[in-house]
A and B are shown apart, each in its own frame.
Chain A
């Protein structure tokens, strides 16, 4: 009896409190309507910035092509922007970018992948809990440190074996870039493989597969789209990497395939010219934008390609 009374009074109190609060409803609904707009506005900041950058890139690139023919730019193998008779062929830069990225991926791809396989399929929980954070720590080292390391350690080391190698060359920064990218590829591929349900592993093991067969024939195919994404991010990172190549590969604008020689990448060219005395309005100033635009289109195409590959070979579960 007493309990019942208690209950009913408390119900009345709660009811009246809710009733009172509901009168503030109008205030609440204003908030409900305003917040999405506020959030949209904030989200627009990065979108508008991107649009702005692309717009500036395009308009300044147009100005550059008024002065230098587009055919010369994309087919020229000679780049000498500061000479009396300047030439603006971008091929040496594209060549340098591709070669350094390929060297980096030759290092980072297999090592990153094998690390991911170990972490996801073989390492004990305990080992994984220690190794993964350490690996991710490696990704936090500033690139200038890697660049310095390539220039003062890796190149002298390599010159013991390849004496004709020049003091600035594309091989050392390429290798070091690869080391820099390993954690990214390993960590993202491991995430993709780890998220494949355990039921798949059990199903494959129950058919008499060895662990290696489970990994290569079931887990990696199932995680393929995630692994492709990891590789593409790795390549994008290599293509966009600046400090390491700027320091360790010098600024020779050679068009060569000899990896023991100095080459310049697109990013390193931008650093060199922007840091030099390119006066505003000069042809060399506009060339910065043309190179940056090329770099942008480069990474964009790669991302599109990666999306296509990931969708094409996707194994959905």
Chain B
């Protein structure tokens, strides 16, 4: 796994607008007749942490799941508009969704390791993508677990079932599982909402570490979390993207009244 450490994102460099990983234009999404996303225009930048906040039902998880088309698992979903990932429209029906999901990893709200050993959980991704060599797999497992800051806790029990781990460890295992196929982007859907404060802190530290190599989009209920870990924050409400800016600006000088109401705790 490549660890690019020489790029140090200072605030000045960020201002120059880094490369866009995703560019969402006029995205609309319906669940049946429910209009869940309304004219969303949302660029996502490389090697940044982008947080999406908003009250329940505002469409933030829906938007996240549209980025790797997992939203299609819900029957009767349909969309309009485009989402360009590295210049290609992923909403094009001819776009290979498996290719997209190989490059865009996802971590879910509740840890969902497979009912296999810790080793096999990590090796699952590389294996389905054709890596069979035992030595290479061993290396991938180790580096992914190290990347997810969990290697020291599990290195002596790689053969044990993943369900014997604590919730926080399971979630970091799921992050390691996503890292194992060296994705470009990692989507996180409230990754700490099922965890205790200590595990949450570990996952947050991990996200800081991961952003050196990956672009991260995180949906969170927790505004402090967004403020702590993200470079940019988007505020969504009723399926619309209300405001999107650098995290500091959003929290200190929100331009929209609704954003201000939400972050000051007046609703939501």
Contacts and interface: CB of A to CB of B under 8 A. Distances in A.
B120 to A, nearest CB: 9
Interface in B104-121: 105-106, 108, 110, 112-116
A205 interface: yes
A205 B70 contact: yes
Interface in B65-103: 68, 70, 73, 75, 98-103
B212 interface: no
Contacts of A213: 128
Contacts of B73: 201-202, 205
| Interchain residue pairs A-B with the least CB separation, the first 7 | A208-B102, A315-B115, A199-B112, A317-B115, A206-B106, A208-B101, A207-B125
A174 to B, nearest CB: 36
Nearest to B96: A208
B70 A202 contact: yes
Contacts of B129: 208
Give chain A's interface secondary structure class: helix
Contacts, number: 73
A217 interface: yes
A3 B141 CA distance: 70
B128 A208 contact: yes
A221 B116 contact: yes
A226 to B, nearest CB: 12
A207 B101 contact: yes
Contacts of A222: 114-115
Contact of A207 (B99, B105, B116, B161): B105
Interface of B: 68, 70, 73, 75, 98-103, 105-106, 108, 110, 112-116, 124-125, 127-129, 161, 163, 174, 177-178, 181
B108 A202 contact: yes
Contact of B112 (A124, A203, A208, A316): A203
A316 B163 CA distance: 7
Of the four ranges (under 10, 10 to 19, 20 to 34, 35 or more), the interface on chain A belongs to: 20 to 34
Nearest to A196: B115
B177 A208 contact: no
A206 B101 contact: yes
Nearest to B125: A207
Given A203-B174, A206-B105, A207-B102, A217 B163 contact: no
Contacts of A209: 98, 128
B115 A316 contact: yes
Contact of B178 (A200, A207, A217, A316): A207
Contacts of B98: 208-210
A218 interface: yes
Contacts of B99: 208
A204 interface: yes
14 contacts: A197-B112, A202-B108, A203-B112, A206-B68, A207-B128, A208-B100, A208-B101, A208-B128, A208-B129, A208-B181, A221-B116, A222-B115, A315-B115, A315-B161
B262 to A, nearest CB: 29
Interface in A169-206: 197, 199-206
